[in-house]
Amino acid sequence: MIIDLASVGKNPKTIELEFEPANIDLDDGMQLAENAAFNGEISRDGTRTRVKGNIVTVVSTECSRCLEPVAKDIDLEFEAVFVDAADEPTEDEIEVTVEELDESLITDDKIDMSEVVREQLILAMIEKVLCTENCKGLCPQCGGNRNLIDCKCEENVIDPRWAALKNLK
């Protein structure tokens, strides 16, 4: 969904959008398990455009420890600021303020809301996702899922290259 900024004014304009999984391409190993709903508003003040809203969806990914599929509910509030690139200084070196760190530049008077939603979902998934808090992960020896099997592999196998260091005291 492309929003033409010519139709946006100072007064916040309400936006309700729904994105199908095929329209939001997340990083490798992640995908939308259901439609993503965006409810929010957009307003423009000069060359600054502010998008503020809420995204609700379910993202399917893999557990960081055992690689089993996991569905993670996402319900996130965010605010994004877009600035017209033509109004930015052209100097090679400029001092950036703290507020400007979260601004995105736009080169034309359009914002692709599917890209905004995609970016916010990826940022929300940065943390490690676990199938359960006490996930045991994979055995480093046999590769078995320790949540499903009780392997008898030795935990303290010493790499033979480091074995000589064991005798140093």
Instruction: Compute the distance between CA of residue 35 and CA of residue 92 in angstroms, rounded to an integer.
Output: 42
Q: Measured in Å, how far apart are the chain's first and last C-alpha atoms? A: 66
Instruction: Compute the distance between CA of residue 60 and CA of residue 34 in angstroms, rounded to an integer.
Output: 9
Say yes or no: 92 and 123 in one domain: yes
Say yes or no: 29 and 89 in one domain: yes
Say yes or no: 82 and 161 in one domain: no
Say yes or no: 29 and 71 in one domain: yes
**More confident site: 88 or 165:** 165
Number of domains in the chain: 2
Q: Which two tokens stand for residue 139?
A: 């055995």
Say yes or no: 85 and 19 in one domain: yes
Say yes or no: 159 and 115 in one domain: no
Question: What pLDDT sits at residue 52?
Answer: 94
Question: What pLDDT sits at residue 7?
Answer: 81
Question: What pLDDT sits at residue 147?
Answer: 93
pLDDT digits 0-9 by tens, 74-118: 999 999 998 877 666 566 656 665 665 567 777 788 889 999 999
Average pLDDT, the chain: 85
Say yes or no: 65 and 36 in one domain: yes
Check pLDDT > 70 for residue 23.
Answer: yes
Running DSSP on this structure, what letter comes out for residue 157? Answer: P
Say yes or no: 31 and 90 in one domain: yes
Question: What pLDDT sits at residue 107?
Answer: 76
Say yes or no: 164 and 111 in one domain: no
Q: How large is the average pLDDT for residues 28-34? A: 90
Share of the chain above pLDDT 90, in %: 47
Check pLDDT > 70 for residue 29.
Answer: yes
Check pLDDT > 70 for residue 149.
Answer: yes
For residue 156, what are the domain limits? 136-169
Question: What pLDDT sits at residue 10?
Answer: 84
Q: How large is the average pLDDT for residues 7-17? A: 88
Say yes or no: 159 and 109 in one domain: no
Share of the chain above pLDDT 70, in %: 88
Say yes or no: 68 and 151 in one domain: no
Say yes or no: 116 and 169 in one domain: no
pLDDT digits 0-9 by tens, 39-67: 999 998 888 889 999 999 999 999 999 99
Instruction: Compute the distance between CA of residue 113 and CA of residue 78 in angstroms, rounded to an integer.
Output: 13
Question: What pLDDT sits at residue 89?
Answer: 58
Contacts made by residues 103-112, CB under 8 angstroms, sequence distance 24+ = 103/48, 104/80, 106/5, 106/49, 106/82, 109/4, 109/5, 109/6, 109/84, 110/2, 110/3, 110/4, 110/5, 111/2, 111/3, 111/5, 111/42, 111/49, 111/51, 111/82, 112/1, 112/2
